[in-house]
Amino acid sequence: MTASPGGMTRAPTDGQLRLITKVARMYHERGVRQVDIADTLHLSQARVSRLLKRAAELGIVRTVVAVAPGVHTQIEEALEETYGLAEAVVVDVEGTDEEIIAGLGSAGATYLETTLTGGERIGISSWSQTLLAVVDRMRPFRVPGAESVIQLMGGIGNSSVQTQGNRLLTEFARLVGATATFVPAPALVGNRTMRENLLNDPAMESVAKEWKRLTMALAGIGSLPPSPLLRASGNAADFAEQDRLHAAGAVGDICQRFFDSAGNLVPSDLDDRVVGIDADTLREIPRRIGIAGGQSKHTAIQAAVVGGWVNVLITDTGTAAALLQ
């Protein structure tokens, strides 16, 4: 039984309503202790207590949890149970790819603003239109939300789009009050020897050490063919390489590490040319947040969650429905 919350004196945002409702359902309907809710959602226990109080003030908690319009906690819980996700955030948005990216950007910004509590060491993709939409919608933190932000793969590319890759890192770091670390190399080089020479450089060795210390990764989920932003950067695989990846069963990637529909890494010559975090190190990061949606990415997103490439998913209602079919 659900009902719309009433009696609001100051209307919360959709993202706040989603969090309030999620906490209320976990506590009142699923019997999860406040300390465990805090650990699962990366919140302080004091904040969990305040959110439960706010749920009562808004009329969300009566004898049952009242789900606010546009909040999809039941679908989120189904995704979490089906795919073993630590958390799923389902955004009530549909339409063109641009409209979905905008909706995911707003949801991603709200999620980060509510869950970054300081001390995180965050790895971030270098080329993602969706992550740019997130950063464009974030507000500056009053107190630092993270310790450091590090690129997960090379960021040097075509000068006409280089500013976007730089802005993604520098602006995100500024907003959360963290230091920014660039990868001083392109994401894709000509051969394995060039890659090894770069990785043996003292500057790159320092970055590689930081990858192993990350507590969180923030990434888009790519599909074949690559996104327009990645193609324009000059860091995408060429058409012949894309054909070989497709023939090998690749359906998507995170940071140019391609996987098949079962989420398994697809070995290719491309792996030896990518200047970025390796697959094993990436999947050892405790919190791996994937933000992606749209019909063209359904297969890639499902593979990413099945393969454990991400354990937190922020996506749209259409993609969530496809994942649960």
* Domains of the chain, residue spans: 1-70, 73-324
Average pLDDT, the chain: 88
Give every strand in the sheet of 87-91, ordered side by side.
87-91, 312-316, 287-291, 216-219, 120-124, 146-151, 179-181
- Mean pLDDT check: name the lowest of 39-43, 127-131, 157-161, 208-212: 157-161
Confidence band, pLDDT 50/70/90 cuts, at residue 2: very low
> 92-102, pLDDT tens digit by residue?
998 888 999 99
Confidence band, pLDDT 50/70/90 cuts, at residue 159: low
Report whether pLDDT(133) > 60: yes
What does the pLDDT read at residue 121? 98
Q: What's the mean pLDDT in 106-135? A: 93
Report whether pLDDT(8) > 80: no
What does the pLDDT read at residue 233? 64
What does the pLDDT read at residue 105? 95
Report whether pLDDT(9) > 70: no
What does the pLDDT read at residue 173? 97
What does the pLDDT read at residue 178? 97
> 192-227, pLDDT tens digit by residue?
999 999 999 999 999 999 999 999 999 999 988 766
Confidence band, pLDDT 50/70/90 cuts, at residue 12: confident
Q: What's the mean pLDDT in 230-254? A: 80
Report whether pLDDT(257) > 90: yes
Please state, in angstroms and rounded to a whole number, the distance separating the CA atoms of residues 56 and 53. 5
Q: What's the mean pLDDT in 256-274? A: 92
Ordered alpha helix ranges (H), the chain: 14-24, 34-41, 45-57, 73-83, 97-115, 129-137, 159-176, 192-199, 202-211, 228-233, 239-247, 279-283, 298-306, 317-324
Write down the architecture of domain 1-70 according to CATH.
Orthogonal Bundle (1.10)
66 vs 236, more confident: 236
Report whether pLDDT(1) > 50: no
Confidence band, pLDDT 50/70/90 cuts, at residue 319: very high
CATH number of 73-324: 3.40.50.1360
Number of Cβ within 10 Å of residue 180's Cβ equals: 16
Total-model pTM: 0.80
Identify which of 231, 238, 221, 235 has the alpha carbon closest to the alpha carbon of residue 296.
Answer: 221
CB 251 within 8 A of CB 259: yes
